Amino acid sequence: MNGQIKELTNLDDFKKVYKVFSGPPYNEKYTEEELEEIFREYKEKGYIYGAYNNEECVGMLALERGAKTDQPVEFQEENIMYLADVAVLNDYRRKGLGNQLMLYGVMQSKALGYEKLYMRTLERGSMSYSIALKIGFKQIPNVFQSVKKERVNGQVETMQNIFLEIDLNSLNRDNLKQGIKMANPSTDKGREI
């Protein structure tokens, strides 16, 4: 696969990739209006990056500035970035693209001067959980959140979420080299897909 990660500005690209959350294992229900609102919120509160293969958007990463007030997390640092979402189209999964996007989020957050990056995820059934642990995220002890989501079948389910964090100040050149190698073993560039 040959492409790049860059700012995602096209709403249709965002919708196409974000709709993976409507399929297994998540099966979350979204209207077109909700997808447009999510896109607007990510643009206003942070950054959206797309992974492009021959000009086709095949994955995305959303980062938001600051800790979210509707989550049970507290940080001593003020420069906090939230890794809001990572999504990869089904045909591009299990090829290292999720790893690359998450590592890109870590590197971008550090480059933008943030001290800590954190995320909310399912401990079981989440593709991002194991990737985050490989990159160096650690679980925030004793912090959980139950989240209700409507499924495509109309049922509302409650999911138990955990929180993970990575201290961006403790990252050094060797950590990043190791992460880049893990995310993209075929190249040392790390930003290519």
pLDDT confidence of residue 48: 97
Q: What is the CA radius of gyration of the chain?
A: 16
Domain parsing of the chain, residue ranges = 3-183
Q: What percent of the chain has pLDDT over 90?
A: 53
DSSP labels for 93-116?
A: TTTTHHHHHHHHHHHHHHHTT-SE
Query: Which parts of the chain fold into alpha helices (H)?
Result: 11-18, 32-45, 97-111, 127-135, 173-183
- Topology at the third CATH level for domain 3-183: Aminopeptidase (3.40.630)
Instruction: Specify the range with the lowest mean pLDDT, choosing from 43-47, 90-94, 124-128.
Output: 124-128
Residues in the chain: 193
The per-residue pLDDT of the chain, averaged, comes to: 86
Distance between CA 146 and CA 158 in Å, rounded?
A: 6
User: What is the pLDDT confidence band of residue 146, given thresholds at 50, 70 and 90?
Assistant: confident
Average pLDDT on 134-160 reads 84
The region that residue 42 occupies, defined by phi over 0 for left and psi between -120 and 50 for alpha, beta otherwise, is alpha
- Of the listed ranges 65-69, 71-75, 132-136, 184-188, the one predicted with least confidence: 184-188
| Residue 17's pLDDT band (cuts 50, 70, 90) | very high
**117 contacts 105 by C-beta, under 8 angstroms:** yes
